[in-house]
Amino acid sequence: MRNILLGACGALFVSAALAAEQPPPHWGYQGEHGPAHWAEVDSGFSTCALGRMQSPIDIRNALEADLPEIDFAYGAGPAEVLNNGHTVQVNLPASGGIAIDGTHYALLQFHFHTPSEEKVAGMTFPMVAHFVHKSAAGSLAVVAVLLKEGKQNPALAQVLDTMPAQGTTHALSGTFDPTPILPEKRGYYAFQGSLTTPPCSENVRWQVLKEPIEVSREQIAAFRKLYPMNARPTQPLNGRQLLESRN
Ligand SMILES: [Zn+2]
């Protein structure tokens, strides 16, 4: 048995004992393999077209509510940087997690999109980092951190300065703590959504932090050299509840 990493956003693992020699279905962000055609690429991707709770969304007219704080309990652990052909992803198998409303979600990985997949009142940011978490019961929670152009980000330098070539991974030397990547303020938008990459699975709990962090123009350029555009277009809200913390 071996595991194949399916989605940039999901860290969903599918055992593929028999299909080990078959390459994974080809999808991308442009042309005939682009987001409008993901459902045609593989029968397992039908939710990308049929789902009613898809991500990303344009965040507007959110309803203020007493949302629970996201209790971040990240720590230093081993890290592996993977360029999976859709994004650059940092796997963090032992770096803690988050708790929301008493549910603990272990951090699995974070990865990048450019421009940001989420829009806020119609506006995109140069990049976004998605922190993907999973509960013991198997449910997913993603925390999105928006990246705007500004000062060089030392916390991300270790990743953005040494991005591996496509299809390769490299382990970061020492340990890596994702805590300094987070913005100071932790107010957020909340909604139910999906993975933003095939198979677009739903029932993902989304938290988009309101405060962006800064990265330098050079850091954005370094990522765009590998991935000039890897953002799915925004999807219809379809009557979903969109909430916003009061802070
Ligand atoms: Zn993502």
H/E stretch holding 241:
none
Q: Rounded to an integer, what distance in angstroms lies between the CA atom of residue 118 and that of residue 51?
A: 18
pLDDT in tens, 49-58: 999 999 999 9
| CA of 8 relative to ligand 1 center, distance in Å | 6
> Which pair of structure tokens corresponds to residue 112?
């990048």
Q: Which residues surround ligand 1, an ion (CB under 5 A)?
A: 9, 130
Assess contact for 144 and 211: CB atoms under 8 A: no
Question: Catalytic pick from 26, 86, 111, 133?
Answer: 86
Q: What is the pLDDT of residue 2?
A: 42
Cis link prior to 78 (omega < 30° from 0)? no
Range with the poorest average pLDDT among 33-47, 76-90, 154-168: 154-168
Choices 3.10.200.10, 3.40.1410.10, 3.40.50.1460, 2.40.128.20: CATH for 30-245:
3.10.200.10
Task: Tell me whether residue 86 is one of the annotated catalytic residues.
Answer: yes
131 to 41, 112, 202, 208: CA distances (angstroms): 26, 9, 16, 10
| CA of 130 relative to ligand 1 center, distance in Å | 5
Query: What is residue 195's three-state secondary structure?
Result: coil
Strand-pair partners of 97:
73, 106
| CA of 215 relative to ligand 1 center, distance in Å | 18
Q: Is the pLDDT of residue 6 over 60?
A: no
| CA of 118 relative to ligand 1 center, distance in Å | 10
Nearest Cα residue to 9 out of 121, 109, 125: 109
pLDDT in tens, 152-168: 999 999 898 888 999 99
The residue extents of the domains of the chain are: 30-245
| CA of 63 relative to ligand 1 center, distance in Å | 24
| CA of 128 relative to ligand 1 center, distance in Å | 8
The reported pTM is 0.91
Greatest C-alpha distance within the chain: 51
Q: What's the average model confidence in pLDDT over 181-209? A: 98
